[in-house]
Structure 1
Amino acid sequence: MSEVKPVSAQEEIEAANTVFEKYGFVFYDLAASSPKSDKTRRSCAVAVGTLLHSPVLFASMQSAHSLPVKALAQQCGVSARTITRHRDYIVAAALLIDGDYPILCTYLQTMRKEAEQCVR
């Protein structure tokens, strides 16, 4: 019986960075685009939830490696300016929640819950 080596946070960050680089940022850039206020964080959660629950928008983001700001803004009701300002954060949150990043996702539990509530 082979043992499965637990993945470390550093390994998850490195794996996420290879994905994030396609979008023009790295993990350590996220602090600059993270929402500071509760209202903005909720707006970002709405955008992330909409992105995750819209296969067309999510597939468009993945194929073009860019966030479809205008379409996302129209669909979720968050201003395009807010989405643009927090683009990297929204992309990273969506990719982490959708991907296989159990350690990093623990930091996004609040975002995931808010996103699920907003889409319902």
Structure 2
Amino acid sequence: MVQEPYPDAVASHADVLRTRYASRLPDALEDLAGPAHGRVDLPLHVAWSGLRTYDLDKSRQCMSLYRIVLAEGQGDDIVSFLNRDLLLAQWPRMRTMISRHVRGVWEEAFPELQPGESATA
């Protein structure tokens, strides 16, 4: 039987993802200073495949941009492209369309995103 040299050091895939997403979180939702209207061009390191320009005034495009930035964006991207009010307004619907790892990290860090919490907090 071969024994792993550091059995406790092996992190699960879920733990790796949660750590990655947690490291990108803003300090507060108020730090999300992205635009609330208009067209947004995402850089290649965020939107590396498919559409890169999104119209925030079109609900589906806005939701797509937020899903991509939450999953692929770095900390600077998150505060530059996401807007606090738009995130709070979209979260109840969007939370079912993003990975459980992203959702869990964000809802744990920001209780106002949890179901049943007030979006105006």
TM-score by length of 2: 0.30
Write 1 or 2 for the structure with the bigger share of helix: 1
More relative contact order in 1 or in 2 (CA 8 Å, sep 6+)?
A: 1
Q: Which has the larger radius of gyration?
A: 2
Judging by fraction of residues, say which structure has more strand.
Answer: 2
* TM-score with structure 1 setting the length: 0.31
